[in-house]
Amino acid sequence: MRKAFVFCFAVALLGSGLAHAQSGAVPPATVRSIQNELGRLGYYVGPMDGKLTAPTADAIRRYEHDKGLPQDGQASSRLWSFMQASSQQTRPPNRETGLAPDGTPLNPNGTHCCR
């Protein structure tokens, strides 16, 4: 009896994991990362809970609109990759290290020295 319960429980867990993977659902950690970046950029002010709620989807749509992307309001690995790449381009210079985000040296006033 116990073996049957354990087997059924394992099948249920496996089934829910397969359903998650087949639905194209994004892991909560990725959604949370997207929420954090949207919050940093001023698009999202809600909880950073990893849940794709209506406010998160609205913030994603506004971000997608501003970046010229198709506006589906969905969290995805592709969106997160785009956000990371865009973030590297818009990150401010680090005056403590004297380097721009791309690693080039800065003048004392914080401007690029080699451009």
Report the CATH number that the domain containing residue 32 is assigned in CATH: 1.10.101
Residue 93 lies in a domain: no
Residue 113 lies in a domain: no
Per-residue pLDDT of the chain (115 residues; tens, 9 = 90+): 555 544 544 444 444 443 444 456 899 999 999 999 999 999 999 999 999 999 999 999 999 999 999 999 999 999 999 999 988 776 565 566 666 555 566 666 656 555 4
Q: How many CB atoms lie within 10 A of CB 32?
A: 18
Q: How many CB atoms lie within 10 A of CB 106?
A: 17
Closest CA to 62 of 85, 39, 92: 39
Q: Which two tokens stand for residue 45?
A: 């002010």
Reduce the DSSP state of residue 112 to 3 states and report it: strand
* Overall domain count for the chain: 1
Residue 12 lies in a domain: no
Residue 102 lies in a domain: no
Domain boundaries, position 45: 26-85
Residue 4 lies in a domain: no
